[in-house]
A and B are shown apart, each in its own frame.
Chain A
């Protein structure tokens, strides 16, 4: 119940493409859903986050879509750039406790 399942494991897109990364969860008590970006040798950095009472949130080129009934959420990266090449993790948290992370998606944006 504490798991967050993430797909795909890896993704390759051309510059300007819109990569989409998907996550699914089971625990309906989760109340906070962030996405983290991680570059090699660095810790994860918060990209964007959403609460379950909102269906969509945009920040710059990054958009989270949230489907509460399906218990799924996804990250869309608009106009992707080679600098977006990184590993992306979805996560979930309930009741101000620790984050539970997905297994990660390695994104490569080709120039």
Chain B
């Protein structure tokens, strides 16, 4: 599989629970991005990594959100104490540093907080 893989595809959780999503980028892509997309809106930037270093975080990324990319390969996004407002599609994208046009998005994880 040469695409960006995200798991799970869907997650339903009760308010207050913690959830973790995983993104497996294209293997040679050293940049990895997380976006959040709510219904009827465009994706909004959350954070990005170059290899294992987290280089930028959006103000949208509250203290309840944490992302890691421990070995510069896959990444995880954890949301603690979920709130109903966290319900959204969480998208991961990756690219190489040099291929500046080559953002490839995964199919996302749809989170529903009930």
Q: Is the CB of A45 within 8 A of B105?
A: yes
What number of B residues sit within 8 Å (CB to CB) of A? 22
Q: Given A41-B107, A98-B33, A98-B56, do A46 and B42 touch, yes or no (CB 8 Å)?
A: no
Most chain B C-beta atoms within 10 Å of own C-beta, residue among A41, A97, A98, A102: A98
Q: Tell me the number of A-to-B contacts counted with CB atoms below 8 Å.
A: 50
Point out the residues of chain B lying under 8 angstroms from A100, CB to CB.
Answer: 45
CA gap between A32 and B95 in the complex, in Å: 15
Question: Could you list some 21 contacts between A and B, CB below 8 A?
Answer: A6-B42, A34-B101, A34-B103, A36-B105, A41-B107, A42-B107, A43-B4, A43-B93, A43-B105, A44-B43, A46-B103, A96-B97, A96-B100, A97-B56, A98-B33, A98-B48, A98-B56, A99-B43, A99-B45, A101-B44, A104-B42
Interface residue ranges, A against B (CB under 8 Å): 6, 32, 34, 36, 41-46, 49, 89, 91, 96-104
Interface residue ranges, B against A (CB under 8 Å): 4, 33, 40-45, 48, 56, 91, 93, 97, 100-108
